Structure 1
Amino acid sequence: MLPASIQITGEQLSAAEVQDICESLKEDGVRLLSVRGCQLSDRDFGRLNLNLGVVSGAGRARHLADALKTNRSLQTLFLHGNPLCDAGLVALNAALSTHPALVSLDLGDGSLGDRALGLVCGLLPPDGAKSGLRELTLSANPGISSKGWARLAIAVAHSSQLRVLNLDYNPLGDQIAGMLAVAVASSRTLEVLDLEGTGLTNQSAQVFLDMVENYPTCLRVLVLAENDISPELQQQICDLLSDDEPGPASTLNVSFFNPTDSSPQMVLLTSGLGESLLAETEM
């Protein structure tokens, strides 16, 4: 019987090992495939049906795009820590935008810029359009400008699907946070917003406090850690968000796929980051 998951960390993958992974994937017997911090040749990378490893340039991104065009059951794609840059995401965009089941995408620490973010906004279609992402991670992409973040805020405001948005460790500042607050207030679906370490002050926190205190919102979790925000303001926001929850807001668990279902496939292409995300998929 084929394994339900393949998880390899920090190894040099031989041609034979790559071939074994390919055969398992062809038999549709792998639900979770994680290759973290591993090394493999360009030739072997191109042979992988779902192209795992470090996506270190546009060439490998094109290999991954070709694989995504032939595999139509993927729901979750984690590319955290891969230096895709704008060129890499351009290579992937056609496959991502037409993939029917993709609901969770992690592009954290991907050296993305405004051009790439514009393509990501296309994966958040407005109300009444096709289905889009439910969870999006854009952590640690400092190359994105305020104009790019403003465009994302508009897309979030009109998205009919997005539930979780992780923007931690981006230099957003209070101005962009204000735009995001408007987007959150407009969204009918967003439940989790992570703004940890994004250069915010009490000014931003006061805007979010006013929003959750005076306007109806779907938001349940707002992460403001590692910002220049007073603990009192953070606690006030947390208390308001958790009023309708059985426990503290920080303990809310959000999941959009059933680990016991044999149909979803997950691919994690990381550089050793995102362990918490992997832990959630294995629960």
Structure 2
Amino acid sequence: MDMSTEDDEDEIESAEEEKEEEKESVEAESEVIDETIILADYMRRFETRRMQELAAKKEKAEEKKKQLRYLIGVEEKRKRDVSVETIITPEDELTVSDRVSTESLVHPCLREIDISESQLKILNPYTVYRVPDDPGLSPAFWLLRERPPIYGTDGVQKFYDMVKRAGIRSIASLKDLLITDQIDLRYYGLESQVMRAICEALMDNTYVRKVDLKDNKLSADACKHLNNLLLRNSMIINLSLSGCQIGASGAEKLYNAISTNATLKTLDLSNCNIGNEGFEYIASALSNNQGLESIDLSNNNLDESCAENLRNLLSYNETLTHLNLFWNSLYSAKTWKTLIKGFEKNETLRSLNLSWNGLGVECLPYLSQLLSRSRSIDKLDLSCNRFTEKDAIRIAKALSTNNTLQELYLGNNPVKAEGALALVHAITPHVSPDNVLHLLDLENVWANKDILHELEAIKMLKPEVKVKLRGILSNYQLVGPDIKKILLKRANYEAMAPKIKRRKRNFGHFVMSLSDKMISQEKFMALIKKFKLKLSKSLINEIMLAFEGPRGTVDQGQLKSFYVKEFSEATVN
């Protein structure tokens, strides 16, 4: 019984264990089923969301196509005229899409629009689309080399960088000059490379107003750099190239700058060996210039050949006020016959220098015409020429009718005394009352005493007029010794002459003790005796005669004032 009971219990336990295992397996299967359902549900939601996104993208793409069609002015394409029976295969669709119009090839952005060429109405496709920003090509380019430095407006660092790269000698003083209003580089012997660096430094400079390059002997290449500077710089108003010997080639290089620069006011080209050939460029450039006011062309070997160019310069330039033609050869009658036409047309010239040109009787008719008709020239320099006394008389006649000239220089001409008298007489008030001349320079010219009357009339009626002469011949007056001073000196000596000290007297003390009234000679001698002056009787008589008053009296006041004036130290002692 016991054995059977144990067997039953074992069977019952095994049955329970099997039930528990079945239960566990069922639970495990249910868990697997649940996970499968969850995964399937997740995949279904994912597919739904993906379809929605694709639909949104497609809708967005369609919207963009509509906007693009609207921008380029194309109506929505109608459906193709395809019969119902026509079957379009995918291969046909590819063939249709490959037939791209010429515009589509040029503009790839139009390939996505399936339209014909006739429907594409674009006047200028480049104005439809916004120009894209720089994709970075400029920064990428400068990776190959360094960026150019950015210089200040003074140009100091730019100059030193250029001379360093060129391996030439620098100019230490230029550092300070570039920040002032004037650059003075006279007598430096500047070469072309240095001139290039200087001109580059001055290109954007806003300080310098005057550049002086006197006596540097500049080459044609250096003149080319100057030309580029004047074409760009708008601050320089004064340029001096005096003695730079630029010649005709340098004048040619400066042609463009002189023609177009409207800022430059003063240009000095004296002693530059320009000659008639170079002057042709200068005159042509000045005829076009509308800003230059003063030009110096002295000592440039100009002669009769340049007359036509000089006439054109005077005729067409409307701003020139000062013209210096000193030390040239403009003396021939043919030259002046041409020049006078230019002077008649010119209305701006105020100062004209024709000294040292060998002018003489040949040009006198035209010069007289210039003096009598000119209405603008107020300063004329004709010094150091060949005018004689007869020429001076003709010049004086023309001068008497002029009412604009203010300064006339005729010094160092052989006009002699007669010519000087005629010129001075021509500006006297009673001969030319409307004459406005205030300076007549006759330097190194001698006149006779006859001119004194004319000079007195000018001094009295026109005190502002100045006449400059070398001198007046025989204009002297003999002047002897002063008797009064000699007498009083003798009185001082005799008063102090006694050897005994107590008898010495100071004559000056006696004079200062006198009153300012008139006194008779007897009373005057009594005063001398009272003062115990040891004077000789003849000396006392001469003193009384020298300071004699009315009716034989002695003027004590006159004696005192004269003595104080001549012997002030004696009166103090």
Quickly name the TM-score band, shorter chain normalised: 0.7 to 0.9
Q: Percent identity?
A: 25
> Does the residue aligned with 2:302 lie in a helix, a strand or coil?
coil
State the secondary structure of the residue aligned to 2:185.
Answer: strand
Residue in 1 that maps onto 2:189: 12
Match of 2:327 among 117, 140, 154: 140
Tell me the residue number matched to 2:304: 114
**Equivalent position to 1:86, from 264, 269, 276:** 276
Contact preservation (8 Å) 2:358, 2:385: yes
Give how far 1:69 is off.
3.8
What is the CA-CA distance between 1:61 and the residue it aligns to? 0.9
| SS in structure 1 at match of 2:408 | strand
For residues 117-142 of structure 1, give each alpha carbon's deviation from its aligned partner in whole angstroms, at most 9, with x where no partner exists. 321222223xxx76242111111112
Map of 2:351 onto structure 1: 164
Structure 2 counterpart of 1:174, one-letter code: V
Q: Which moved more, 1:73-82 or 1:148-157?
A: 148-157
Quick one: distance in 2 between partners of 1:149 and 1:26? 44
The one of 383, 388, 391 equivalent to 1:204 is 391
Partner of 1:175, secondary structure, is helix
Alignment of 1:259-274 (within 5 A): none
Question: How do 1:219-238 and structure 2 match up within 5 A?
Answer: 219-231=405-417, 233-234=419-420, 237=423
Question: How far apart, in 2, do the equivalents of 1:61 and 1:18 lie?
Answer: 17
Deviation by residue 1:148-174 (Cα, 9 ceiling, x = unmatched): 122213322332111111110111212
Residues paired across the two proteins, number: 246
Which residue pairs with 1:248 in the alignment?
466
Looking at structure 1, the residues matched to 371 and 360 of structure 2 have their Cα atoms a distance apart, in angstroms, of: 16
Code of the residue aligned with 2:391 in structure 1: it is S
Q: Is the 8 A contact 2:371 2:402 kept in 1?
A: no
Contact 1:164 1:192 in 2 (8 A): yes
Deviation of residue 201 (structure 1)? 0.5
Residues 148-157 or 74-83, more deviating: 148-157
Q: 1:235: how far off?
A: 6.2
Higher fraction of strand: 1
Structure 1 residue 231, shift from structure 2 partner: 4.6
Amino acid at match of 2:308: G
Q: Show structure 1 runs of 5+ residues with no match.
A: 251-283
What RMSD in Å do the two structures reach over aligned CA positions?
A: 2.7
1:189 aligns with 2:376: yes
* Counterpart among 214, 223, 246 of residue 56 in structure 1: 246
Distance 1:132 1:177, change over 3 A: farther
- Decide which of 288, 303, 306 is 1:98's aligned counterpart: 288
2: CA distance, partners of 1:63 / 1:28: 25
Question: Which deviations, in whole Å up to 9, do the C-alpha atoms of 1:62-116 show, x marking residues without a partner?
Answer: 1111322452211222111111111101223332111111222211111113332
| Counterpart amino acid of residue 248 in structure 1 | K
CA contact (8 A) 1:224 1:234 kept: no
Question: Could you state the TM-score of these two structures normalised by the residue count of structure 1?
Answer: 0.76
Task: Please point out which of 23, 32, 37 is paired with 2:210.
Answer: 32
| Superposed displacement of residue 30, structure 1 | 2.4
Matched residue of 2:211: which SS? strand
State the Cα distance separating 1:29 from its structure 2 match. Answer: 3.2
1:150 corresponds to = 337
Structure 1 distance, partners of 2:361, 2:304, is: 19
Take 2:379 and 2:298, find their aligned partners in 1: how far apart are those partners? 16
In structure 2, do the counterparts of structure 1 residues 117 and 44 end up closer, same or farther at CA, with 3 Å as the change threshold? same
Contact 1:111 1:142 in 2 (8 A): yes
Are residues 41 and 159 of structure 1, via their aligned partners in 2, closer, same or farther at CA, if it must alter by over 3 Å?
closer
Could you report, residue by residue, the CA deviation over 1:206-241 in whole angstroms, capped at 9, with x for unpaired residues? 11222233x242111111111111256436635723
Does structure 2 conserve the Cα–Cα contact (< 8 Å) formed by 1:165 and 1:192? yes
Q: Distance in 2 between matches of 1:69 and 1:26?
A: 21
Pair 1:136–1:235, CA change in 2 (3 A):
farther
Structure with bigger RCO (C-alpha 8 Å, 6+ apart): 1
Q: Measure, in 2, the Cα distance between the counterparts of 1:136 and 1:84.
A: 16
